[in-house]
Amino acid sequence: MAKYIVEQSGPLVGEVEISGAKNAALPILAATVLTEGICEINDVPRLRDIDVMCRILRSLGAKVDEDWETHTIKVDGSGISVSEVPYDLVKLMRASIFVMGPLLARLGKASIAQPGGCSIGDRPIDLHAKGLRNLGAKILMSDDLVNASVDTLKGALVYLDFPSVGATENIMMAATLAEGSTTIENAAEEPEIVDLASFLNKMGARIKGAGTDTIRIEGVKALHGTRHAVIPDRIETGTFMVAAAITRGNVLIKNSVPDHVRPVIAKLIECGAVVNDELEGLRVRGDVNRLVATDIKTLPYPGFPTDMQAPFMALLTTVSGTSTVIETVFENRFMHAGELSRLGANIRVNGRTAMVPGDKRPLVGAPVMSTDLRGGAALVLAGLVAKGKTEVSEIYHIERGYEHFVEKLSGLGAKITRVED
Ligand code: EPZ
């Protein structure tokens, strides 16, 4: 098993280029199932999860060409005829469920292994099912399988009890080919939803309101192939912003969209970091002021992103004063707190609240384990400032979501290497 060896590195300085967003690319690739035409997706990050989505598309009968020189994936969906996604693939990535809506719309049926829970929570798919049922689908859920079928999808009103990102995406995709109009209320507003809607509209869909809590979709008879470039990854952007702050460095983050990371900018400024929106990107400086504690509470967009909670917690272990972190999106997303405490952070977790005592206890390197994608990134960031050497294991989590993480950090002066055990 591979691991990262991270050494105390001093301030990170220089420029880093952000990759395309994994969480935008995944539903966009799934949406190619909706057409027999050819779709070209640009700026796709080369990641394990993307590879799994390509395998799923191939298993359904699509022809998928990956060109990693240009980060372009071409999907020819004309041969799609299979409606099943087996557990072998679903167990590798929960986002496999994204093909359920598109398969229903294209083939009138979908049979997908149950994704099950994961280390950050139970993660049920009841809202996906509720929305698709509203559109007329029959959905039978057993312990290990989701079976969906429909003669004709019919537009309807869908109210989501929680603004789930995945449910909004699945329902929006299915509704593009439904008869009549669909309204999704209390929809998720994340930038990845807007990117998916803009891709679907380029395919000929009629979607309005993406990025607000009410999305209206006028069904059309067919969608056609198109070309689309994926938005920059806002969570990778935020992770490098925190990397600059935690090392008290000075980093220019290129290919970032400041509007997508407003809450991270606000919280970094509250801590005393300096963030400037420059012509070439976002500059984050942690070397100007003494950094101090702040409180964060995760919320659906435009609130503070749950995916940034772990990296930010790593930063809060190094500032003056005690911070409170409240996680409201996932019920079990504090596994990294225990690992950060192995580095000396002494974080106390009570339910959905964590108390982070700050720099009274400087971090000291130790062997730690990635518990999930963002938790793993947090451990790497902590390792950059912990005294001595930190060994981060189970790094396959991190490599699911950060393209060239080691190379990008090394380019800024970080002492990090990837070794095979
Ligand atoms: C997406 O997951 C992202 N994944 C996650 O990123 C991200 O953390 C999450 O949105 C929240 O922003 C992808 O886009 C591939 P949700 P998703 O449905 O769609 C509950 C990362 O690290 N819920 O918005 O699965 C659910 O249990 C990953 O890149 C239901 O109860 O998130 C959770 O508590 C991790 N029923 C909350 O809603 C449902 O049917 C938010 O989940 C669906 C969700």
Q: Which two tokens stand for residue 15?
A: 């420029």
Using the mean position of ligand 1's atoms as its centre, give its distance from the Cα of residue 40 in Å. Answer: 26
Query: Which residue has the least CA distance to atom 4 on ligand 1?
Result: 23
Query: Which residue has the least CA distance to atom 7 on ligand 1?
Result: 307
- Which CATH architecture fits 2-18+232-420? Alpha-beta prism (3.65)
Residues with a CB atom less than 6 Å from ligand 1: 23, 26, 95, 121-128, 162, 164-167, 188, 306-307, 329-330, 373-374, 401
* Intrachain domains 2-18+232-420 and 22-229 with the same fold: yes
Q: What's the CA gap between 287 and 10, in Å, rounded?
A: 11
Q: Which two tokens stand for residue 204?
A: 């000929």
Mutate to test the pocket of ligand 1, among 19, 22, 23, 172 (most ligand atoms within 8 A of CB): 23
Looking at the domain that runs over 22-229, which CATH code has it been given? 3.65.10.10
Give phi and psi for 146, each to the nearest 5: -115, 120
- Local confidence pLDDT in tens for the 421 residues of the chain: 899 999 999 999 999 999 999 999 999 999 999 999 999 999 999 999 999 999 999 999 999 999 999 999 999 999 999 999 989 999 999 999 999 999 999 999 999 998 866 677 778 899 999 999 999 999 999 988 999 999 999 999 999 999 999 999 999 999 999 999 999 999 999 999 999 999 999 999 999 999 999 999 999 999 999 999 999 999 999 999 999 999 999 999 999 999 999 999 999 999 999 999 999 999 999 999 999 999 999 999 999 999 999 999 999 999 999 999 999 999 889 999 999 999 999 999 999 999 999 988 899 999 999 999 999 999 999 999 999 999 999 999 999 999 999 999 999 999 999 999 7
Question: What is the torsional sign of CA 249, 255, 259, 261?
Answer: negative
Q: Where are the domains of the chain?
A: 2-18+232-420, 22-229
Structure pTM?
0.97
Query: Which residue has the least CA distance to atom 6 on ligand 1?
Result: 307
Mutate to test the pocket of ligand 1, among 44, 92, 123 (most ligand atoms within 8 A of CB): 123
Mutate to test the pocket of ligand 1, among 112, 139, 164, 236 (most ligand atoms within 8 A of CB): 164
Residues that are catalytic = 118
Q: What is the DSSP letter of 210?
A: B
Query: Residue 216: is it exposed, middle or buried by C-beta count within 10 angstroms (0-12/13-18/19+)?
Result: middle
* Ligand 1 atom closest to Cα of residue 372: 22
